[in-house]
Amino acid sequence: MTPLHFALALLVTGIWGTNFVVIKYGLSAFPPLLFATLRFAASAFPWIFFIKRPALPWRVLITFGCLLGAGQFGLLFLAMRNDVPPGLASLLMQTQVFFTIIISAVFLKERVVPAQIIALFLAFLGIGLIGWRTLTTTDTTVTTKGFFLIMGAAFSWALSNQVVKRAGRVDMLGFMVWGSLFAAIALLVLSLLTENWATVPAMLLNTHLTAWLAVAWQAIGNTLIGFGIWNWLIGRYPAATVTPMALLVPVFGMSASSVLLHEPLPLWKLVTAALVLAGLALNFLAVRATAQTRP
Contact 151, 95 (CB under 8 A): yes
- What pTM was computed for the model? 0.85
All residue ranges of the chain with pLDDT < 70 are 1, 134-140, 231, 234-235, 238-244, 287-288, 290-295
Predicted confidence at residue 168, as pLDDT, reads 75
List phi, psi (to 5°) of 156.
-65, -40
pLDDT at site 261: 86
pLDDT of residue 231: 66
Burial class (CB in 10 A: 0-12, 13-18, 19+), 71: buried
Longest dimension (CA), the chain: 62
The amino acid at 17:
G
Distance between CA atoms of 262 and 49, rounded to whole angstroms?
41
Q: How far, rounded to the nearest angstrom, does the alpha carbon of residue 57 sit from its chain's CA centroid?
A: 24
DSSP class of residue 281 equals H
Name, in order, each residue with C-beta under 8 angstroms of 101's C-beta and a sequence gap of 6 or more.
112, 116, 120, 283
Residue 27 and residue 81 in contact, taking contact as beta carbons nearer than 8 Å: yes
Buried b (16+ CB within 10 A) or exposed e, 2-14: eeebeebbeebbb
Q: Domain residues for 235?
A: 3-293
- Asked if 214 contacts 26 with a C-beta cutoff of 8 angstroms, the reply is yes
Residue 290's pLDDT is: 66
- CA 120 from chain center: how many Å? 19
The number of domains in the chain is 1
Contact 208, 150 (CB under 8 A): no
